[in-house]
């Protein structure tokens, strides 16, 4: 039986999709010909926010800005560890201005913010496991974040960074392929990674929940977990069953509109590690 030693109240940052549309395509999921119901997107986003609050967590809200429709994917704006922030430097110009909005937010918290020199997309390609091997950052590259950003993040944050190459363009960010389930373990889809990265993950996390391609393509791995409760896309029924078998509590939410932009639960939620 799983013992929930690492279940703690967490703090998150979200940004409502009041201006969410799909008017350009910068990932394989974006179809400019598919209409977006912005009102429904806001309703689904609010359901996610309320779920996190109901589970006992704090959710800060970053006000959306006109002209930045992808700002709802708040995880991409930065990556923080112990009150130190490695800022995003977006690959595509359509999202570049989001970084400044995130910087202003973190500066209001009084956290140390570092402006990135290397292209990276925040928690889209970085995650942190404080109880894994003394504290590890896992970092993806191959589509959005440059591998040079991994070395830069290690210098800024003072934590060892494990570089993992992504190989499936449908799974263009690390947070679509892998997420922590608690402070020491992960769920991931091996097929999203290079053969070498698969070997590294298998060695580091022998007790991981191994997901299927279907789990990944229903954005099941784009999840948020507090160590016990795993908030994930309601379409990912197979992964939910696997998580339940592993001793976690799946908490499904509906985010069909936001999936049209290529994201789900985790994309909408940045963890604030102060």
CA 5 remoteness from chain centre? 23
Which two tokens mark 188?
A: 């991931």
What value, to the nearest 5°, has the Cα angle with vertex 80 and ends 151 and 111? 115
The CB density around residue 273, as the number of other CB atoms within 10 Å, is 17
Catalytic residue (choose from 57, 150, 173, 268):
173
Given 57, 141, 267, 268, the catalytic residue: 267
Pairing of the two strands 209-210 and 186-188: parallel
Question: Could you tell me which residues come within 8 angstroms of residue 227 by beta carbon, excluding any fewer than 6 positions away?
Answer: 4, 5, 6, 7, 8, 181, 182, 183
Spatial distance between the Cα atoms of 85 and 208, rounded to a whole number of angstroms: 28
Which residues lie below 8 Å from residue 102, measured CB to CB, with a gap of 6+? 62, 74, 77, 78, 87, 88, 122
> Is 267 annotated in the active site?
yes
Q: How many CB atoms lie within 10 A of CB 257?
A: 22
Measured distance CA(133)–CA(251) in Å, rounded: 28
Say which residue the tokens 């999840």 belong to. Answer: 223
Q: Which residues are catalytic?
A: 173, 267
């Amino acid at each position: 039986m799983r013992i929930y030693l690492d279940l703690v109240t967490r703090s998150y940052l979200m940004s409502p999709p009041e201006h969410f549309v799909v008017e350009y395509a910068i990932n394989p999921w974006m179809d400019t010909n598919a209409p977006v119901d912005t009102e429904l997107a806001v309703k689904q986003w609010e359901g996610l926010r309320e779920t996190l609050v109901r589970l006992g967590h704090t959710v800060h809200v970053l006000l959306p800005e006109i002209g930045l429709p992808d700002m709802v994917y708040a995880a991409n704006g930065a990556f923080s560890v112990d009150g130190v922030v490695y800022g995003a430097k977006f690959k595509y110009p359509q999202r570049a201005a989001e970084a400044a909005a995130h910087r202003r937010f973190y500066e209001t918290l009084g956290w140390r913010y570092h402006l990135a020199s290397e292209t990276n997309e925040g928690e889209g390609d970085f995650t942190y496991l404080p109880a894994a091997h003394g504290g590890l950052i896992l970092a993806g590259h191959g589509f959005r974040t440059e591998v040079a950003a991994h070395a830069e993040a290690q210098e800024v944050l003072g934590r060892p960074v494990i570089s993992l190459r992504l190989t499936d363009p449908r799974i263009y960010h690390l947070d679509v392929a892998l997420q922590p389930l608690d402070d020491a373990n992960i769920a991931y889809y091996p097929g999203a990674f290079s053969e070498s990265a698969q070997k590294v993950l298998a060695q580091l996390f022998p007790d991981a929940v191994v997901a299927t391609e279907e789990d990944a393509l229903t954005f099941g791995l784009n999840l948020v977990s507090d160590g016990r409760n795993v908030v994930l896309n309601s379409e990912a029924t197979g992964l939910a069953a696997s998580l339940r078998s592993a001793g976690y509590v799946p908490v499904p939410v509906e985010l069909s509109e936001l999936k049209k932009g290529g994201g789900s639960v985790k994309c909408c939620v940045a963890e604030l590690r102060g």
